[in-house]
A and B are shown apart, each in its own frame.
Chain A
Amino acid sequence: GAVVSQHPSWVICKSGTSVKIECRSLDFQATTMFWYRQFPKQSLMLMATSNEGSKATYEQGVEKDKFLINHASLTLSTLTVTSAHPEDSSFYICSAWLAAYNEQFFGPGTRLTVL
């Protein structure tokens, strides 16, 4: 099957620092990847659509200068949380679109805790 990995699986950082999360499609190429945020006991909220070689498309209310997305290759998208604050603590999940299956494949998620 199509496998998507995320790294790290969890991270703790100090307030004011930046954190980078990687999302990789391991056995397929993905021109489109998605980044979601999930609060405890709540649903996944789409943050942005990441397109290889072009700028990400952010959902309404998501600060593009705070959540930097780079999709530099067909197998890697990164999400950088800049100047993180405790309210950025959350579970971040990525997915990669596999056109042949017409389906998104999800990574296992990254838990970010900002102290």
Chain B
Amino acid sequence: GNSVTQMEGPVTLSEEAFLTINCTYTATGYPSLFWYVQYPGEGLQLLLKATKADDKGSNKGFEATYRKETTSFHLEKGSVQVSDSAVYFCALSGGGAQKLVFGQGTRLTINP
């Protein structure tokens, strides 16, 4: 079945550092890929998505590229801020279904 593997956390960085959170997937067919963010005390919010190979999703300075050859969708940001502290989830949705399969989540803490 479909699955998503995320980089183990927690991740702690200093403000303005470069961020990468790795995400790889296993899926049949051509899934859509997502990054969700969960801020403390809030529900999950869609951060960005990509629906086909080589698509790049971007939002709030974050970006991720759908790499079919490496089955990856790594999240990157060039300069993180304290306000980026949250839990980040990689997810996929495949086969036309709306169902999401999530990675285990990565807790990110940014120190000033």
Contacts and interface: CB of A to CB of B under 8 A. Distances in A.
B43 A107 contact: yes
Contacts of B36: 106
B102 interface: yes
A58 to B, nearest CB: 12
Interface in A21-43: 32, 34, 41-43
Given A42-B104, A44-B89, A49 B43 contact: no
A85 B46 CA distance: 33
B60 interface: no
Interface of B: 36, 41-46, 89, 98-105
- Interface range on chain A (Cβ under 8 Å from partner): 20 to 34
B43 A108 contact: yes
Smallest CB-CB A-B distances: 5 pairs = A106-B43, A106-B44, A108-B43, A43-B104, A43-B102
Nearest to A99: B98
Given A34-B99, A43-B105, A109 B43 contact: yes
A50 to B, nearest CB: 12
A68 B103 CA distance: 26
Contacts of B43: 4, 93, 105-109
A114 interface: no
